[in-house]
């Protein structure tokens, strides 16, 4: 495994070499046509980027040369200098020096000394004549010694990686099938080959997944600007802290949660944090603190948006939800804190009384939930009034492979992503009671409604589910407790099969309109297995409960 440092260095090298090639190209064009504006602008931009990258990596000399050249190109662009005479030679020497320095970085050698060049560049900037060596005998030799080099990195379209990942997914499914067949046939040579295939395809799968990983930083680093803009518009002082930029996650997952994170951050600044006066009145520091952090937890990646603002006013949310008609007043009264907070992420919910540019336009936090649902992720909310709020997005590292629990109902297997499963229970009828027509049990002191999965799957039409009665319960009941948006629901199944990593294939048309199924997977036996979507199951239960 490469260290993060090495990886950054390679990235820097790839970009720097690309910049260097473009510089040489644009410089030649500028020499032919000293008034080529686009080439000049491009050179200025390339110098600027190279300077920034070099300084960030700690290559100060390299950054210094790029900085001087940037200044000089700025002057040429502003027509205070012309691209002619000795200036041309110095600029070419400068770009060559950059090339040598970049190569030195790549070869892990000390950077060549550039003080003479820097002096000349300084002179040019000041409008003095540069001091040039009279004889440039090394020039021709240097020409022939110059190496052509290609970058060690390739840029690749995400689409191509997606395709690769899909192919690997298919391969893994067939591999499992071959493995099962080999075990059935029992031929030792076949079995050995199948096991080898198993290992290779495992490695291949992880390599492809690894190739798709990017640092969360590529997204987090966009937020200082967002926070600054929102804070300015809201007239607040906010200090943003980023951490965990190195945590790796699938590029597409990061893409999908971009909007969700943007919403949470804007929400935190405009609603979560108080104004300076309010903060001082409450005895807090004048500047609000916002932390965006990424960390790993088991196989998941957590992204947290944490503020030290006013916290969620649970009672206000409760009132607002009733006002907006999301729930009845009676139902609202019985909800616990977590359940009330979950309402924040319902479509159509907004706490804003005033509409600002930033928030309160009716586009609510429900986009957060939608994004997470599409990934099979989870949202955690922690909040304390007057202290602050933390939203945690729980995300899978990779889209392709998910841990799942296989269960059986009516002799058919179904898969449930582990991300949404809490616990499995085997309950005696005596541990189950009937409340308002719904089966209920107690898990760790909390009431959890139970529903036979069979009923949810085969329910047709708009009628509510039949009233449950204990007389239907015969013997111990196998219950899988699922968790979605802090709501727990116990699914009564016929039997648990096993836990397994599965590759989810999306359902193709026309069946993709049924939201109860997140996709299908193929089991080693070749059997088609439907993957249940816990958010949809939970919603169906809430809509249909008697």
Partner 1 sequence: MADIELSVPAAKPERVKPAELVQLIVFRLGDEDYGIRIEQVKEVTVTPEVARMPKTPPFIKGIANLRGDIIAIIDLEERFLLRPAGRAVPERSYTVAVEAADYILGLMVREVPRPFTLPQSQIEAAPDFVQDSSTRDKYLEGIAKLPDGGIIIVLDMRKLLTPSEVMRLPGKSASS
Spatial CA neighbour of 454 closest among 442, 465, 443, 445: 465
The verdict on 162 binding partner 1 (CB under 8 A) reads no
Among 505, 539, 544, 545, binds partner 1 (CB under 8 A): 505
Residue (110 or 461) nearer to partner 1, CB? 461
Residue 425 C-beta: closest distance to partner 1, Å: 24
Residue 522 C-beta: closest distance to partner 1, Å: 6
Residue 513 C-beta: closest distance to partner 1, Å: 6
Spatial CA neighbour of 524 closest among 197, 300, 189: 197
Per rule CB under 8 A, count of chain residues that contact partner 1 = 25
Reading the block at residue 501, the tokens are 């990593």
- DSSP-derived letter for residue 381 is E
The angle that helices 223-234 and 251-267 make with each other, rounded to 10 degrees, is 20
The verdict on 464 binding partner 1 (CB under 8 A) reads no
What is the H or E stretch that residue 497 is in?
strand 495-503
Residue with tokens 């260097």: 20
The verdict on 138 binding partner 1 (CB under 8 A) reads no
The verdict on 509 binding partner 1 (CB under 8 A) reads yes
Residue (192 or 511) nearer to partner 1, CB? 511
Q: Binders of partner 1 among 72-91, rule CB under 8 A?
A: none
- DSSP-derived letter for residue 418 is G
The verdict on 163 binding partner 1 (CB under 8 A) reads no
Q: Binders of partner 1 among 357-416, rule CB under 8 A?
A: 412
- Specify whether the CB–CB gap between 165 and 122 falls below 8 A: no
Residue 452 C-beta: closest distance to partner 1, Å: 13
By CB under 8 A, which span of 50-58, 100-108, 143-151, 523-531 interacts with partner 1?
523-531
Spatial CA neighbour of 404 closest among 507, 514, 523: 523
Name every residue whose Cβ is closer than 8 Å to that of residue 45 and which is 6 or more positions away in sequence.
none
Residue 411 C-beta: closest distance to partner 1, Å: 10
The verdict on 30 binding partner 1 (CB under 8 A) reads no
The verdict on 457 binding partner 1 (CB under 8 A) reads yes
Residue (86 or 524) nearer to partner 1, CB? 524
The verdict on 508 binding partner 1 (CB under 8 A) reads yes
The verdict on 331 binding partner 1 (CB under 8 A) reads no
**Strands of the 378-384 sheet, one edge to the other:** 238-243, 288-297, 300-307, 388-396, 378-384
Residue (50 or 504) nearer to partner 1, CB? 504
Residue (153 or 514) nearer to partner 1, CB? 514
The verdict on 529 binding partner 1 (CB under 8 A) reads yes
Query: Please, what sign has the CA dihedral across residues 188, 193, 194, 198?
Result: positive
Residue (52 or 516) nearer to partner 1, CB? 516
What is the H or E stretch that residue 423 is in?
strand 421-427
Q: How far apart are CA 163 and CA 140, in angstroms?
A: 48
Bridge partners for 530 per DSSP = 414, 520
Reading the block at residue 278, the tokens are 């309010």
Residue with tokens 């110098």: 47
Residue 170 C-beta: closest distance to partner 1, Å: 5
What is the 3-state composition of the chain as percent helix, strand, coil, each rounded to the nearest 5? 50, 20, 30
User: SS3 sequence, 467-486?
Assistant: CCCHHHCCCCEEEEEEEECC
The verdict on 541 binding partner 1 (CB under 8 A) reads no
Residue 381 C-beta: closest distance to partner 1, Å: 31
How many residues comprise the chain?
A: 546
Among 127, 283, 445, 510, binds partner 1 (CB under 8 A): 510
Question: Binding pattern to partner 1, positions 417-456, x when CB under 8 A?
Answer: ----------------------------------------
The verdict on 517 binding partner 1 (CB under 8 A) reads yes
Among 527, 542, 543, 546, binds partner 1 (CB under 8 A): 527
Name every residue whose Cβ is closer than 8 Å to that of residue 243 and which is 6 or more positions away in sequence.
291, 292, 293, 294
Name every residue whose Cβ is closer than 8 Å to that of residue 443 and which is 6 or more positions away in sequence.
422, 423, 425, 481, 488, 490
The verdict on 184 binding partner 1 (CB under 8 A) reads no
Residue 464 C-beta: closest distance to partner 1, Å: 15
Residue 277 C-beta: closest distance to partner 1, Å: 55
Q: What are residue 209's phi and psi, to 5 degrees?
A: -65, -40
The verdict on 511 binding partner 1 (CB under 8 A) reads yes
Q: What are residue 362's phi and psi, to 5 degrees?
A: 85, -15
Name every residue whose Cβ is closer than 8 Å to that of residue 501 and which is 6 or more positions away in sequence.
401, 402, 403, 404
Residue (283 or 510) nearer to partner 1, CB? 510
By CB under 8 A, which span of 30-38, 198-206, 281-289, 509-517 interacts with partner 1?
509-517
Q: Footprint of partner 1 on this chain (CB under 8 A)? A: 170, 173-174, 412, 457-458, 460-461, 505, 507-511, 513-514, 516-517, 520, 522, 526-530
């Amino acid at each position: 495994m490469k260290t993060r440092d090495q990886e950054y260095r390679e990235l820097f090298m790839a970009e720097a070499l690309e910049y260097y090639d473009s510089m040489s190209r644009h410089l030649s064009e500028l020499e032919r046509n000293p008034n080529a504006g686009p080439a000049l602008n491009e050179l200025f931009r390339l110098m600027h980027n190279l300077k920034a990258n070099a300084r960030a990596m700690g290559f100060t000399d390299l950054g210094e040369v790029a900085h001087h050249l940037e200044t000089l190109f700025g002057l040429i662009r502003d027509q205070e200098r012309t691209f002619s005479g000795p200036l041309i030679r110095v600029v070419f020497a400068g770009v060559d020096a950059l090339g040598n320095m970049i190569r030195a970085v790549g070869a892990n050698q000390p950077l060549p000394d550039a003080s003479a060049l820097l002096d000349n560049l300084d002179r040019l900037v000041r409008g003095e004549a540069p001091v040039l060596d009279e004889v440039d005998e090394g020039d021709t030799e240097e020409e022939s010694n110059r190496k052509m080099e290609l970058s060690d990195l390739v840029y690749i379209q995400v689409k191509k990686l997606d395709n690769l990942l899909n192919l690997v997914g298919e391969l893994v499914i067939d591999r499992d099938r071959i493995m099962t067949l080999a075990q059935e046939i029992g031929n030792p040579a076949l079995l050995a080959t199948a096991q080898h295939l198993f290992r290779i395809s495992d490695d291949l799968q992880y390599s492809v997944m690894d190739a798709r990983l990017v640092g969360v930083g590529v997204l987090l680093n966009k937020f200082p600007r967002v926070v600054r803009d929102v804070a300015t518009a809201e007239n607040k002082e906010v200090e943003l802290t980023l951490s965990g930029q190195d945590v790796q996650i699938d590029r597409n997952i990061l893409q999908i949660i971009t909007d969700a994170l943007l919403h949470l951050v804007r929400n935190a600044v405009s609603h979560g944090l108080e104004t300076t006066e309010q903060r001082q009145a409450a005895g807090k520091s004048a500047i609000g603190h916002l932390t965006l952090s990424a960390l790993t937890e088991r196989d998941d990646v957590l992204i947290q948006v944490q503020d030290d603002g006013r916290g969620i006013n649970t009672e206000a949310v409760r009132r607002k939800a009733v006002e907006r008609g999301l729930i009845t007043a009676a139902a609202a009264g019985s909800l616990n804190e977590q359940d009330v907070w979950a309402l924040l992420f319902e479509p159509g919910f907004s706490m804003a009384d005033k509409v600002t540019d930033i928030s309160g336009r009716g586009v609510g936090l429900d986009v957060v939930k939608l994004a997470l649902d599409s990934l099979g992720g989870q949202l955690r909310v922690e909040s304390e009034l007057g202290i602050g709020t933390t939203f945690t997005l729980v995300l899978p590292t990779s889209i392709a492979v998910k841990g799942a629990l296989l269960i059986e109902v009516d002799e058919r297997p179904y898969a449930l992503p582990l991300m949404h499963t809490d616990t499995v229970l085997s309950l005696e009828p005596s541990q189950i009671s009937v409340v308002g027509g719904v089966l209920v049990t107690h898990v760790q002191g909390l009431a959890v409604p139970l529903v036979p999965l069979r009923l949810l799957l085969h329910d047709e039409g708009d009628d509510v589910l039949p009233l449950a009665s204990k007389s239907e319960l015969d013997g111990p009941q196998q219950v899988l407790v699922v968790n979605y948006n802090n709501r727990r629901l116990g699914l009564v199944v016929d039997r648990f099969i096993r836990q397994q990593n599965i590759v989810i294939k999306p359902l193709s048309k026309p069946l993709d309109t049924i939201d109860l199924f997140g996709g299908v997977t193929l089991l080693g036996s070749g059997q088609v297995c439907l993957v249940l979507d816990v958010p949809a199951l939970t919603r169906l239960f809430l809509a249909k409960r008697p």
